Amino acid sequence: MRGRFITLEGGEGSGKSTLLKELAARLEAAGKTVVCTREPGGTALAESVRNLVLHPPAGQHWSPMAEALLMNTARTDHLEKLIRPALERGDWVLCDRFADSTRVYQSVSGGVSEDVLKLMEGFVVGETRPDMTLVLDAPVEAAAERREARAGTADTFEARGHEFHEKVRAAFLRIAQKEPARCVLIDASRPVDEVANAAWTAVQERLDIKAPATT
């Protein structure tokens, strides 16, 4: 039986990575084999593309169209080498960002038209659409504090201003509202364990996971 494909989406600093680890632990405790991965990235080649797109040489910028193509290049390799084989083995794939991030980031602020992005997504993703997407939503100010608390230099998107991040938040909310069969909106402004419990409840309900047997 094909495994399950769960994606986590939301603005930077919304707590996706922390939630992904927590969900993986709970799924493993429920007897699932879990593959944790991220986009852009997840394979050696896709990680090289990640570095290229998120950290262009000083003073250089990719256009939104070039970004969209690079994200989809990385995604193609990721799907071919990691995601599809894992799903065929029956594993559960948890992915930190996927195609919704391209829809959002490469279209906001006068980027690529939604029609063009949709076409690319159709070719690249094909039938490998997520079974479920957790959309983490938090006020931009709270997320900015979490981003600033993280070590390392800001990438090309993190470094953009408040207005950009507000548009990103609104665009993710629109996707969650438009596709309720796939997406679950999670209020990520709550304490970490409350967010994890809400997400876990949604995963159990939607993907029919039985609690592990206690002896």
Per CB under 6 A, residues contacting ligand TMP are 12, 38-40, 54, 71, 96-97, 101-102, 105-106, 155, 157-158
Whose Cβ is closer to ligand TMP: residue 80's or residue 158's? Answer: 158
Q: Order of strands across the sheet with 34-38?
A: 34-38, 92-96, 4-10, 132-137, 183-187
Q: How far is the CB of 97 from ligand TMP (least distance, A)?
A: 4
Whose Cβ is closer to ligand TMP: residue 102's or residue 133's? Answer: 102
Token readout for 2 is 């094909």
Q: How far is the CB of 206 from ligand TMP (least distance, A)?
A: 23
- The three-point CA angle 154-157-163 to 5° equals 115
Q: How far is the CB of 96 from ligand TMP (least distance, A)?
A: 6
Whose Cβ is closer to ligand TMP: residue 12's or residue 77's? Answer: 12
Q: How far is the CB of 210 from ligand TMP (least distance, A)?
A: 31
Whose Cβ is closer to ligand TMP: residue 40's or residue 130's? Answer: 40
What distance in Å separates the CA atoms of residue 124 and residue 34, rounded to the nearest whole number?
Answer: 23
Token readout for 149 is 């608390």
Sign of the C-alpha dihedral computed for residues 41, 42, 46 and 48 taken in this order:
positive
Q: How far is the CB of 213 from ligand TMP (least distance, A)?
A: 36
Whose Cβ is closer to ligand TMP: residue 54's or residue 175's? Answer: 54
